[in-house]
Chains A and B, each alone.
Chain A
């Protein structure tokens, strides 16, 4: 750099550095483990909170799968635990709806948004861009504690007399707007809305930090096109969140007004319990638009980070450069852009103008193009690779398998004509659980197994990891594959008991198989949880700085890095992150200068 320009060279990283050095010496238990401002600790906090939520949300699905698989069986122990919610050992309808609603809310927002992005954005951004910490460690801490606040509120809603929100995770009005409409529309619904408002604040604080850290605090030589794909994925995820959560927030404000101040934003011409309500002029469809303007980008907020994690872990374990690095970035950009233009495909059956519907069909099907580019890039990365089947790598392969299976059915439901038939059936359940539920979990597990050594300085147990992977993969297909048939046959989602319906009672046996697989897959996740916590304390110790032979910067830090990550200067970057198997070398870290006679990639 020439001397004549006075750019703020390294000013900000140094400020952060000094700041941390000052604090490093008098850390207490509270500042180190509770109100920590260290990105690594905040990542662990997000991960463990996410795991707790995943257990709770998963357990809920086990409970409603018991109802669906064994609708005529009475289990007295249920009543012992849940009291009048499971009267006579049978899950009551209100309980069933509450379970479904909270399962969706918890898994979508608290596990796969906060638990996933919160963990890996915090862990990987400073490590991989070469920064001592986030741009604002304080805001980062606030982001986590707003998430905890949201968690506490939503947890409290599980224990109120009338139960938590029960109108489905999308909380459509008028059901959600009228307290007298159902049990779950009372205080539980208010707690849900307040919790989600806190959640949006948490996402905003986190997102601002992620974007500004990635743009502003890259180490010397780390151009945007040398960033690992994980960081690119998190950048797009953060931008999606920053631009779509505020719209949801606006929608919630209006919903709260309708609930408590008597406004008519979403309400019109309603008769409730024989009474004509005074509300007029509002539109429940308006809420659906506001909700899905977030709701659709939200599914990419869930899947994009895992795409980044999978790309990185896959390239490392195939010992090959990721295929089509620039195409990966371009396709993520295309997905992020299209994410904002397709929300109304969730609303084909609301009476939408068919012409408008056809526009949304076109834009929706366009997403298949960047998605397919990514899939082919992963397959070509695996092609003739020198693959190491670590648990992380297996989950990467599982991710691609799930993403293909779920992506293909997306073409079905993205088509408005087919969607008329498939809307609100088990086909949709199968589609989105495979493509953003199981896929995202696969990607997240890949990330956890792979970066566990960096987080805790120990390995997770491989054997348990393999059992975890194979049982999860098989169960996922056993659970969701048959649901496609049920959906084609018109079996609607959210029903309490199918055995009484002439059209669907022949599915009772199939439902039992699904329930069995669901319970088994829940148990095997507990095996993962056991592996995770056992390995934190008793896992095999990491002895080398770079156990996977990876190129990125986090593996140039000490095995157990202190606050500030690098004891000395932050390393300078000279190349992209994917020089594996190049010029006869197994791997060349980003910090190694480009040799004179080295071929360019």
Chain B
């Protein structure tokens, strides 16, 4: 694909695409720019509400569980695994695009499968994390009574500790800001929906590859476009990760 272009070559004179980008890829780039604003708006909304609160839960305390590990305190271990899986799926996506450039159908199929696996694993992890949070039971002091509640979009058990008050060997807390659940499930859910859409696109691309659609077309650009989307979703996760788990 690397073509020698002389210095001073005029790309914008019409009759050709500036910088040789097909309209499909250009559209994908502009769409991603647009989607950046969607996520940007959501994350900035989250930020404004969060800084307006007196108290916000400590992520090390909220996200400290790991499947099959019981109550062992493992802060951010599971989300690190999720992030690793998603980033690895970006690597396999790169490899799929690379095989596509070489028009190696078998290679494309192999790496697409790995990417689909990575995406699905990530979604499964998210499903587990959500379930764990929603069905969890934390002792919270509500209206003078201790209740065991999980985290949902309308209630938040991760409030400030009530000094000296214990329940079944656990520290009792006050209810935390309800905005926490709303933004957490809202934004990770919206991101998860993007990952899900990406997996659907990848499955479609896999079917198209298998039936030889791209070989007939003579290029694997569709894989590249889906790749752009996939990397974008990955990048968004980095920001979601930063805003919900690290800060």
Q: Which positions in A face B, CB cutoff 8 Å?
A: 2, 4-10, 12, 129-130, 135-136, 139, 204, 207-209, 211-213, 215-224, 226, 242-247, 249-251, 253-254, 257, 261-265, 278-283, 286, 289-290, 293, 572-573
Across the interface, which residues of A come within 8 angstroms of B18, CB to CB? 215-216
Which one of B21, B26, B52, B153 contacts A262 once the chains associate, using CB atoms below 8 Å? Answer: B153
With A12-B22, A136-B23 known to touch, is A243 a contact of B34 (CB < 8 Å)? yes
B126 to chain A, nearest CB (A): 18
A83 to chain B, nearest CB (A): 39
B85 to chain A, nearest CB (A): 26
Which one of A12, A223, A224, A250 contacts B45 once the chains associate, using CB atoms below 8 Å? Answer: A250
- A243-B33 in contact (CB<8A): yes
Interface residue tally for chain B (C-beta within 8 Å):
45
B9 to chain A, nearest CB (A): 7
Which one of B26, B33, B42 contacts A250 once the chains associate, using CB atoms below 8 Å? Answer: B42
Which one of A10, A226, A247 contacts B38 once the chains associate, using CB atoms below 8 Å? Answer: A247
- A263-B182 in contact (CB<8A): yes
Across the interface, which residues of A come within 8 angstroms of B35, CB to CB? 246
- B12-A224 in contact (CB<8A): yes
CA distance A217 to B34 in the complex (A): 21
- B14-A223 in contact (CB<8A): yes
- A257-B153 in contact (CB<8A): yes
- A290-B41 in contact (CB<8A): yes
- A242-B30 in contact (CB<8A): yes
Across the interface, which residues of B come within 8 angstroms of A249, CB to CB? 38
- B23-A213 in contact (CB<8A): yes
Which one of B23, B181, B183 contacts A135 once the chains associate, using CB atoms below 8 Å? Answer: B23
- A4-B15 in contact (CB<8A): no
- B15-A209 in contact (CB<8A): no
A261 to chain B, nearest CB (A): 6
Across the interface, which residues of B come within 8 angstroms of A224, CB to CB? 12
- A204-B34 in contact (CB<8A): yes
Which one of A10, A130, A286 contacts B16 once the chains associate, using CB atoms below 8 Å? Answer: A10
A140 to chain B, nearest CB (A): 12
- B14-A283 in contact (CB<8A): no
CA distance A8 to B3 in the complex (A): 12
25 A-B contacts (beta carbon < 8 Å): A5-B9, A6-B3, A8-B22, A12-B17, A208-B30, A211-B30, A213-B23, A221-B15, A222-B14, A223-B13, A242-B33, A243-B34, A243-B37, A245-B34, A247-B38, A249-B38, A257-B182, A263-B178, A264-B178, A265-B179, A278-B154, A280-B178, A281-B53, A281-B179, A289-B48
Across the interface, which residues of A come within 8 angstroms of B49, CB to CB? 265, 281-283, 286
B176 to chain A, nearest CB (A): 10
* Identity of the chain B residue whose Cβ is nearest the Cβ of A287 in the assembled complex: B45
B175 to chain A, nearest CB (A): 10
* Identity of the chain B residue whose Cβ is nearest the Cβ of A6 in the assembled complex: B3
CA distance A128 to B22 in the complex (A): 20
Which one of A6, A212, A280 contacts B30 once the chains associate, using CB atoms below 8 Å? Answer: A212
With A212-B26, A573-B14 known to touch, is A265 a contact of B45 (CB < 8 Å)? yes
Verify if B84 is at the interface (C-beta below 8 Å from A): no
CA distance A265 to B178 in the complex (A): 9
CA distance A10 to B22 in the complex (A): 11
Verify if B163 is at the interface (C-beta below 8 Å from A): no
Verify if B4 is at the interface (C-beta below 8 Å from A): yes
- B6-A2 in contact (CB<8A): yes
Across the interface, which residues of B come within 8 angstroms of A130, CB to CB? 14
- B179-A282 in contact (CB<8A): yes
CA distance A92 to B134 in the complex (A): 46
* Identity of the chain B residue whose Cβ is nearest the Cβ of A10 in the assembled complex: B15
CA distance A251 to B6 in the complex (A): 47
